[in-house]
A and B are shown apart, each in its own frame.
Chain A
Amino acid sequence: MKKIRMRFRAKAKGDIVKVIGLIKHPNLTYIMAKKQHKEVNFLTYIKATHNGEVVYEASTSQFLSKDPVLKFAFKGGKKGDVVEVYVRDLKGNEGTKKVKIK
């Protein structure tokens, strides 16, 4: 099992927290994998929590690009809080990242 690498940044502006990040993943679709003689693998689940509350959740499939950039915003965050992002792909590889809100 490999750990999925990623980078995230979170910024608070008034009441709203904006999160932006990049997930390192090849995201090979069925067609591309067949062409490149590799195994199919793409992100299937992304979740972000803030103080135990889910602020972003997505079940994804082949539509994602290579190394996708993710952007979302939520209300009710403060500076110094922690947003935790969790990612899983088709093969079961996982990755978590804790981001401090600036």
Chain B
Amino acid sequence: MVTRALKLAAISAIATMSLFAGQYNQQAEKDRQALIKYFVAKFSDPVKNAARFFPYTPTEELKKNYRPVKDWHEFAKGVYSFAKGPRQQYLELIEMPPYEDDVDDGEELYNSTKGLKECFPKPAEAAVEYPKYDTKKHEVVTLTMAINDCVVKHGGKPWNPYKGKIAKVEAYFAAQARDAGKVINVKIPNAEAEKAYEHGKKYYFSQRGYIDISCANCHVQGAGKRVRRDYLSPLVGQVTHFPVYRLSWEELGTLERRLKGCIKNQGQQPPKPFSEDMRDLIYFLSYMSNGMKVDGPDVRK
């Protein structure tokens, strides 16, 4: 009886909370749920649903190379959640991860750089706090931007937003958050924030560049298909593992650097790291990964 009453109380509490908080994020929440539903339907049984999702992939390849994914939390691993071969390579790689030294360097930088300790008193919180909508500045603030602002404010020169020191500090934050078991929780506090979200969503779903494709063509409809030998990752869970150690870079890089590369491959001019387009895009992407555990830093191909 007691447990049932507790359960009821918990459910009603969650319901009321979502009623009050869900004024501005209604559309966003709808989008997220729809995406999760779509991806789970796609990857829960690729062979059975081949006619709907993989019409041009031979059944032998589907049987041989794809692994069914039932739980959407697994998409935090991106491509490695459903592709068998790459998953095996990944599991072998993380036995001795190549980014551990960088995390130690990040801790040193965090302690030695002026001002970082005051701006980010709790490193584990910082990784989950951003990107957030700053109600005073009336714009989206990403973690990279916040760190750079902090360094400049305390009399230093701005750091490179793509790699190097900034990636190492972010790696330290992310590692702390992972150890504490933090969950990504992006909020949409007001109508302006909702506008920023819509702007990011528009960027993601609009066609651009000389090939005339949008981000969604590859990462929603095309997720799971191959581009030569590489598989395309699903949109849900795309920001959980940053900063990332890419094997092709042979070093750590921030989310901005990855997005720049991806947009360039798409055949268009990538936006500047602190421009409105980039920040709103990150805001949108992060909201889509809400409810997933922080998994960074991690290794990707």
Q: Chain B at the A interface: mostly helix, strand, loop or mixed?
A: loop
Q: Which of A5, A21, A67 has the most CB of B within 10 A?
A: A67
Q: Mark B84-110, 1 if CB is under 8 A from A, else 0.
A: 000000000001101011000000000
Q: Which residues of B contact A22 (CB under 8 A)?
A: 96, 98, 100
Interface residues of A in 3-36 (CB under 8 A from B): 5, 7, 9, 20-22, 24
Which residue of chain B is the closest to A7 with respect to CB atoms?
B100
Residues of chain A at interface, number, CB under 8 A? 10
Whether the pair B96, A21 counts as a contact (CB closer than 8 A) is: yes
In the complex, the answer to whether A24 meets B101 with C-beta atoms within 8 Å is yes
Query: Contacts of A67 on B, CB cut-off 8 Å?
Result: 98, 250
Max count, chain B CB within 10 A of own CB: residue among A7, A9, A24: A7
Beta-carbon nearest neighbor of A70 in chain B:
B96
Q: Closest residue to B93 on the A side, CB-wise?
A: A69
A51-90: CB near B (< 8 Å → 1, else 0) gives 0000000000000001101000000000000000000000
Bound-complex Cα distance A4 to B98 (A) = 15
Contact B100 A66 (CB under 8 A): no
- CA–CA, A67 to B96, complex, Å? 11
Query: What's the nearest-Cβ distance from chain A to residue B251, in Å?
Result: 10
Collect the chain A residues with CB atoms within 8 Å of residue B95's CB: 20, 69
CA distance A99 to B18 in the complex (A): 51
Q: Is there an interface contact between B250 and A7, defined as CB atoms closer than 8 Å?
A: no
A-B contacts, 11 listed (Cβ < 8 Å): A7-B96, A7-B101, A9-B96, A20-B95, A20-B96, A21-B96, A22-B98, A24-B101, A67-B98, A69-B95, A69-B96
Write the residues of chain B forming the contact surface with A, with a CB cutoff of 8 angstroms.
95-96, 98, 100-101, 250
